[in-house]
Amino acid sequence: LDSGIPFELRTTVVPGIHDQTVLREMGQQLAKLIGVNQVNRVNRASGSSEVTRVLKPTWYWQNFQPGHCLDPQFDNHKPYSAAVLDDFLKTVKRCYSQIELRKY
C-alpha cells in the first residue's frame, strides 16, 4: 500500500451479496487499513526513520449488470436502482470518503 505506485479499489455491488451493512463494514475496514496519511519507515541501510505520505486510493463502485455471468444463477438478479446505490454511498462515505460510482 505504501509503495508509491498508484492503484484503485473496485467493487461490483451485487444484490444478495452486498447491502448497506456489508458495504459500510468494507468501508470501515478500508479506513483502518488505508486511513493513515503517513507511514513511518526505517531505512534499512542507514537505520534512520522516514515519514512517507500515503494517499488514500479511490474506491470505485460499479452496479451489477446481469447477463453472461460465470455463475448462471446471477443472470436473473436485478441490479440496485441508482437511488439505492446513492443511499449506500452516502452512508459509507461517512467512514471512507474516497468513493465514486462508475456509471455505464
* pLDDT tens for each residue of the chain, 104 residues long: 667 778 889 999 999 999 999 999 999 999 988 865 445 555 667 767 666 555 678 999 999 999 889 999 999 899 999 999 999 999 999 999 999 999 86
User: In the chain, where do the E strands start and end?
Assistant: 9-13, 38-42, 49-53, 59-63, 99-102
> Of 18, 15, 28, nearest to 80 (Cα)?
15
Specify whether the CB–CB gap between 57 and 8 falls below 8 A: yes
**What was the pLDDT predicted at 38?**
47
Measured CA distances, 84 to 8, 17, 28, 63 (Å):
23, 15, 20, 11
pTM to 2 decimals? Answer: 0.77
